[in-house]
Amino acid sequence: MGSPRPHPPREAERRATLAVVTAGLGEPSTSRLLADRLAYAARDQLAARGRPADVHVVELRELAGAIADHMVTGFPPARLRDALAEVATVDALIAVTPVFAASYSGLFKSFFDLLEPDALRGTPVLMAATGGTARHSLALEHAVRPLFGYLRAPTVPTAVFAAPEDWGGGDRHTGELAARVERAAGELADMAAGTRGRAAAAPPATGTEAPLDVVPFAEQLAALSVRN
């Protein structure tokens, strides 16, 4: 009698995959520094939930030329193609952008423009940004969160913004940043720990859904005129 077939690993035993996309332009950059802090915290939080994680960093600065070529020609170089494929298959994503002109950077937006429309569907995302002043922190809410909403990627409630004073402004500022990092990482880990893959997070349409009961607009107007 042959040996028994091995069972596939249970979800709790499968290692999670975490991608970190950072769009800083300097070397080093504060965006990369923030991305690393978030990655370490998220990895630890996932491990505490029984989901040890493999972390992969995508440094967009190194792919800037390839991104521009792909946008013009429609053909991604191999390194960019691998990065896009990797981001599309992870269990969770950390996305960090510098803020320019009250919004995400062009490099950051260009990379996500190149993903397939459903590539991030159901993938939990932790958003973060850096900027020259804390007044730019709202860019996460009015620009970055809507971007991932359009891509149908759920975002964790806590977005992390780091201003210059968060890096060297005394214990109060650095402590506040650390608290935000841990809170956001915990939220991401909570979402990712229950991930069963893209198919479970966003099941395909079966074609058997019940049709919507839509009242014709003319009937709505008629009813409104009677009430008035």
Instruction: Report pLDDT digits (tens) over 206-225.
Output: 444 344 344 454 554 454 44
Domain assignment present for residue 68? The answer is: yes
Tokens of residue 195, six digits? 């991930």
Q: What is the pLDDT of residues 64-111, one digit of tens each?
A: 999 999 999 999 999 999 999 999 999 999 999 999 999 999 999 999
Query: For the chain, how many structural domains are there in total?
Result: 1
Domain assignment present for residue 41? The answer is: yes
**CATH number of the domain that residue 105 is part of:** 3.40.50.360
Distances (CA, A) of 228 to 172, 217, 219, 220: 59, 17, 14, 12
Contacts of 196 (CB under 8 A, 6+ apart): 11
pLDDT for the residue 221? 45
Given a contact cutoff of 8 angstroms between Cβ atoms, the answer to whether 161 and 130 are in contact is yes
Q: How far apart are CA 13 and CA 6, in angstroms?
A: 14
* DSSP, res 13: G
Domain that includes residue 205, residue range: 14-227
Domain assignment present for residue 78? The answer is: yes
Torsion 69-71-75-78 (CA) sign: positive
Domain assignment present for residue 207? The answer is: yes
Q: How far apart are CA 225 and CA 47, in angstroms?
A: 61
Domain assignment present for residue 6? The answer is: no
Domain assignment present for residue 171? The answer is: yes
Tokens of residue 98, six digits? 């510098």
Can you tell me whether residue 74 is helix, strand or coil? coil
Residue written as token pair 């040890």: 52
Contacts of 121 (CB under 8 A, 6+ apart): 151, 152, 153, 198, 201, 202
Domain assignment present for residue 144? The answer is: yes
Domain assignment present for residue 46? The answer is: yes
Q: What is the pLDDT of residues 163-185, one digit of tens each?
A: 988 887 555 667 899 999 999 99
